Chain A
């Protein structure tokens, strides 16, 4: 395979290193330093895909980030990635890419029929066409659209690559390493500022790589190279290539995606593929340059029509010709530079200049080189289907409205220059109010909202000398403010060719009798006629026109289309462009991979996993774990072939008959100390706390200010001014914040300290009629009798040489204790409990049995304290002190909360005593009532009662107080179940609470 469009010499590629790659299953060669685009063009491949809507042939339009067409499906190291721009993808050995948007092949595409049916696909076609009939949507329209549209296929495989996040602070972030970026970075770095210089491409230098200029006694590229190597040596400077700053967020935080491995055949071991940088910069200098604008003419999307700057870049950087019979169509001097470059490489271009008699140094040079120039000429339409074969050209009148006679000239590419559009995306994202600059027909940054300044071409400054002067100075002044240092140096002499003013011409009129498609948005196939229709149909706001026509909404974000779209709207609406305004620029500036955004927070790293000190024991003993918030808790301990239901029933039954042990380390614990600790508890809990003696625990309920139950738990008085509070696992963090809020803001006079001690203590709940026997074995030197340690009692004891806290509290409703030891001793404690419990038939039990035990006992938990219930609803009204005020009390006297028929917790038993009741089901009076069937309540928790050996549920039921004994229906539309049930007391087991006191 010969690279027939590769120049004999030149370019910045490494011709000593050949690289083989595949495109659409065909083998090609390129060189190290090529992009996929430059290598394909070198091989004469100009057809790369099909367009989004009409499936028209697509080639290359740009040479970088602005590329709207050349989007491929990339295959690398066994993975595939959609939406890769061939102009940005660096070539590596073994690269494989395929066209997207075409079926069955890029050369013969069935979807291209859309091109002939385009009358049916006008602006807003999504909204108009696929509306009716409704039943067609899923079966006909959606599959059709999905197949016909889209830009590639996402992999459904797990992404094995590693992506990282990095947080960084700097004095100056400089976005872009063109002349303005380099100059400002240099002067800021010399002043000692901490600088990050980010370059999107692999090569530093921006336009200096492609322009014929001299700085000092060096060429532009030499100067760029020397500045970069000097910057790289400086300890206060970070220089990053392949790094795109894509978002400017609040308070000068910018996000940059660094592509570390995308240019390699595979990612090196332990290296990330990409890294996302969160950069907090004191000052930001935006040096993102400008993007050439197209001129709109007939069939301007034909492969071979491309930006003139891109054609120059392919020659100068990659040593590649985009064509051998080029036509340069320009309204300014930039096109001449491209033509001159062609001529230097032995190619004879023809320049069509829309201007009448332009004169400048550059034009002079082109004339001296005998380049053919046709003034007042335009391209009316490109001819050729898969590649430009010729161009219809014509003379245009001085008022730019009348075309002369049309002449067809042969060409194989049309290089277009419609002048330059500053890249103001980052400035606009920062909140900068952009303004229209009539001299360059484009928006430039206006008044800054954040600490940002825009330099050079991004600010509409298009001469090198001015750019460098301005950038050196801004870099110097901005950094001086931060470092208080100023390093004076002399400004280099700049040699560049002078250019003259551009022509404001941007759209070629249609010749009489012709109806060529003239595209504005090349990626979304939005043509001049689409915008005209949208305006005819009454769309006025540019934001609405954008959404209706999808102008500028593709992955290229309208980098090449926005301004021409605005020109058109302003022309039809007879307004000036600034009055039309531009659409909002939103991050990201370029597509960012989901992997980079997620970073390392994937799989089990998506959130932290907390394990108790006894976790290993649970693992060794066949525990099946369940997520409880971020904690992993044993759900049940599997024996043999048991399932969840059988195991949890066995475990719960063993608690009711013998003794069980449950890991309760996850319970929230808060250590409370200070002379006013009791007063704090008295204010945040609903019951009385001032008289709790040392060595006693008490159950308490906390409300929010709106009267809703926030949390419950026991708090124990360890010593005079020291309390140990427990919270539910889920609410632990909120309760701590809640206490801190009142202590710091509302009652700063209270002398109390609170601190989380959840992780300091390992906890084991020992529950069951034989639990005291076990305790006596564990603590032979302590009096754990009913007198020595009564219900709600507390003592400190010695567990074979380690300090333990024993609380006589119960969640299961059985005689029970909770033993706490310092976390490091948790495993030891657990082993001792199991060892000494053996003779009493001890079994560990998990959260499923724990739930069963508390549900049949009627103890409320998270499913009842769900942020919608007040104490009365949970039958906790007995804990509301009448004597004192507490947080949330005043709300309870609000009308709805004091209503007589308020919802209340009840028990629910199926009449057949067999059918399990799904949680979340509704309770209704009549299962056959017409929908919507009035809902009386809902099932909050369900279990299989081990005490009664039948299903039992808790429910929150309207007027629950008066419903005991009534028969209702449980309905679960989700499970398609209707179950006749009886309402019973929520205390299904030991309603008098005798066991806990036994």
Chain B
């Protein structure tokens, strides 16, 4: 079970969180025209990375905040966590 540092609450066990996918995907702005290809990329197409990956988790059974977690998908090592409003650097 992973041990994730919630930027709001501190170190918590994985079972308090739910996984939310790739954190680098940006939702296209509402009302803006977008090609089929770009839309498909947003909705469906994800890289299945082996290695370091910025991902979203929600601290569901805690502060309910969505957070960004920089994790190695192969080793599970977590390098960094950010609040929702902090930019991935």
List the interface of chain A (C-beta within 8 A of B). Answer: 167, 249-253, 278, 280, 431, 449, 683, 705-706, 737, 740-741, 744-746, 748, 884-886, 890-891, 894
How distant is A405 from chain B, measured CB to nearest CB, in Å? 58
Q: Are A431 and B75 in contact (CB under 8 A)?
A: yes
**Interface-central residue, B20, B36, B43, by most chain A CB under 10 Å:** B43
User: Which chain A residues lie closer than 8 Å to B31 at the CB level?
Assistant: 884-885
- Contacting residue for A894 out of B1, B2, B36, B78, CB 8 A: B36
Q: Are A748 and B84 in contact (CB under 8 A)?
A: yes
User: Which chain A residues lie closer than 8 Å to B79 at the CB level?
Assistant: none
- Contacting residue for A741 out of B36, B44, B66, B76, CB 8 A: B66
How distant is A737 from chain B, measured CB to nearest CB, in Å? 6
Q: Are B85 and A251 in contact (CB under 8 A)?
A: no
Q: Are A744 and B84 in contact (CB under 8 A)?
A: yes
How distant is A570 from chain B, measured CB to nearest CB, in Å? 29
The count of A-to-B residue pairs whose CB atoms sit within 8 angstroms is 56
Q: Which residue of A lies closest to B84 (CB)?
A: A744
Listed from nearest, the 7 A-B pairs whose CB atoms lie closest are A251-B3, A744-B84, A885-B30, A885-B31, A744-B66, A250-B76, A746-B27
User: A251-B76, A741-B58 are known contacts; what are 5 more A-B pairs with Cβ within 8 Å?
Assistant: A167-B13, A280-B3, A431-B75, A705-B43, A737-B60
Q: Which of B21-63 contact A (CB under 8 A)?
A: 27-28, 30-31, 34, 36, 39, 42-44, 56, 58, 60
Given known A253-B3, A886-B30, A890-B34, contact A744–B39 (CB-CB < 8 A) = no
Q: Which residue of B lies closest to A746 (CB)?
A: B27
User: Which chain B residues lie closer than 8 Å to A280 at the CB level?
Assistant: 3, 13
Q: CA A884 – CA B31 in complex, angstroms?
A: 7
User: CB of B73 within 8 A of chain A?
Assistant: no
User: Which chain A residues lie closer than 8 Å to B20 at the CB level?
Assistant: 741
How distant is A288 from chain B, measured CB to nearest CB, in Å? 22
Given known A250-B2, A251-B1, contact A740–B66 (CB-CB < 8 A) = yes
Q: CA A252 – CA B2 in complex, angstroms?
A: 9
User: Which chain B residues lie closer than 8 Å to A706 at the CB level?
Assistant: 43-44
How distant is A253 from chain B, measured CB to nearest CB, in Å? 5
How distant is A739 from chain B, measured CB to nearest CB, in Å? 11
Q: Are A745 and B13 in contact (CB under 8 A)?
A: no
User: Which chain B residues lie closer than 8 Å to A884 at the CB level?
Assistant: 31
Q: Are A449 and B75 in contact (CB under 8 A)?
A: yes
Q: Are A891 and B39 in contact (CB under 8 A)?
A: yes
How distant is B45 from chain A, measured CB to nearest CB, in Å? 12
- Contacting residue for A740 out of B27, B39, B58, B75, CB 8 A: B58
How distant is B18 from chain A, measured CB to nearest CB, in Å? 7
User: Which chain A residues lie closer than 8 Å to B85 at the CB level?
Assistant: 744, 748
Q: CA A250 – CA B1 in complex, angstroms?
A: 6
User: Which chain B residues lie closer than 8 Å to A737 at the CB level?
Assistant: 18, 58, 60
21 contacts between A and B (CB under 8 A): A250-B2, A251-B1, A251-B2, A251-B78, A253-B13, A705-B42, A705-B43, A740-B58, A741-B58, A744-B65, A744-B66, A744-B84, A744-B85, A745-B66, A745-B84, A746-B27, A748-B85, A885-B31, A886-B30, A891-B43, A894-B36
Q: CA A894 – CA B43 in complex, angstroms?
A: 12
**Interface-central residue, B56, B84, B85, by most chain A CB under 10 Å:** B84
How distant is A784 from chain B, measured CB to nearest CB, in Å? 37
How distant is B69 from chain A, measured CB to nearest CB, in Å? 12
Q: CA A252 – CA B78 in complex, angstroms?
A: 13
Q: Are A740 and B42 in contact (CB under 8 A)?
A: no
Given known A278-B1, A885-B30, contact A740–B64 (CB-CB < 8 A) = yes
User: Which chain A residues lie closer than 8 Å to B36 at the CB level?
Assistant: 894
User: Which chain A residues lie closer than 8 Å to B58 at the CB level?
Assistant: 737, 740-741
Q: CA A976 – CA B42 in complex, angstroms?
A: 45
How distant is B60 from chain A, measured CB to nearest CB, in Å? 7
Q: Which residue of B lies closest to A740 (CB)?
A: B64
Q: Which residue of A lies closest to B85 (CB)?
A: A748
Q: CA A890 – CA B63 in complex, angstroms?
A: 32
How distant is A930 from chain B, measured CB to nearest CB, in Å? 36
How distant is A87 from chain B, measured CB to nearest CB, in Å? 32
User: Which chain A residues lie closer than 8 Å to B27 at the CB level?
Assistant: 705, 746
Q: Are B56 and A745 in contact (CB under 8 A)?
A: yes
Q: CA A891 – CA B27 in complex, angstroms?
A: 13
Q: Are B66 and A249 in contact (CB under 8 A)?
A: no
Q: CA A790 – CA B13 in complex, angstroms?
A: 50
Q: CA A252 – CA B13 in complex, angstroms?
A: 11
Given known A251-B76, A741-B66, A744-B84, contact A890–B39 (CB-CB < 8 A) = yes
Q: CA A280 – CA B1 in complex, angstroms?
A: 9
Q: CA A449 – CA B75 in complex, angstroms?
A: 9
| Per-position binary interface string of chain B over residues 1-14, scored 1 when its CB falls under 8 Å from any chain A CB and 0 otherwise | 11100000000010
User: Which chain A residues lie closer than 8 Å to B34 at the CB level?
Assistant: 890
Q: Which residue of B lies closest to A249 (CB)?
A: B1
Q: Which residue of B lies closest to A748 (CB)?
A: B85
Q: Which residue of B lies closest to A894 (CB)?
A: B36
Q: CA A705 – CA B43 in complex, angstroms?
A: 7
Q: CA A344 – CA B64 in complex, angstroms?
A: 68
Q: CA A894 – CA B35 in complex, angstroms?
A: 11
How distant is B12 from chain A, measured CB to nearest CB, in Å? 10
Q: CA A380 – CA B18 in complex, angstroms?
A: 60
Q: CA A449 – CA B76 in complex, angstroms?
A: 11
Q: CA A409 – CA B38 in complex, angstroms?
A: 84
